[in-house]
Amino acid sequence: MFRCGIEYTRCRWILPLLLLFAIIFDIIAIAAQSGWVEDENAKTHYASMWTQCRGRNDQWDCKSLMEHPWAQAVAALMIIGLIILIIAFIVSFVCNLIIVQIITLIIYPVKFNELIYEGYFDYTWAYGFGWGATILMLGCGILFCCLPRYEFELSGMAKPKYIYTAA
């Protein structure tokens, strides 16, 4: 029983599984304290979604980024995206609001680079997990939109289809 190359019984577990991974990636990206960015050469400056720190070894001077409106918007949008993911996971329905996290992941580097003028920065694994969650949400949205006629089969509520009928 294949339609669009995806078997119904296997496919109904793909969307919730991808949503679960997206939730895990989002939590890692939001909770990461070691940074979303760090300077390229000297490793004397790094920033997470919440704070930025300058210094060396054990001598770090950390300041909150939450005093800037753009950082507050980034945090709010990332948390809203996580809440939407959790709701979508609970009802196993992909709310295709991926744009919220895409905006978040674009605002952060643009505004952070405006705040810090010197040097080059590498975006670290925590920022990458944010993009990972966004890409998984995009994949879930595409799968959901590609299979709208088969939602009963995916949810397991469809009547069985028989290849042969009695004549």
Cα–Cα distance between 85 and 87 in angstroms, integer? 5
- Predicted confidence at residue 86, as pLDDT, reads 84
Domain range annotation of the chain: 13-155
Q: Give the residue among 153, 146, 111, 135 at the shortest CA–CA distance from 19.
A: 135
* Three-state DSSP state, 39: strand
> For 104-160, what is each residue's pLDDT tens digit?
888 888 888 888 777 777 888 888 888 888 888 777 766 666 665 566 666 667 677
Most distant pair of Cα atoms in the chain: their distance: 84
In CATH terms, is domain 13-155 a member of 2.60.40? Answer: no
- Predicted confidence at residue 150, as pLDDT, reads 61
Residues above pLDDT 70, as percent of the chain: 71
pTM equals 0.56
Residue 29 contacts residue 127 (beta carbons within 8 Å): yes
* pLDDT above 60 for 26: yes
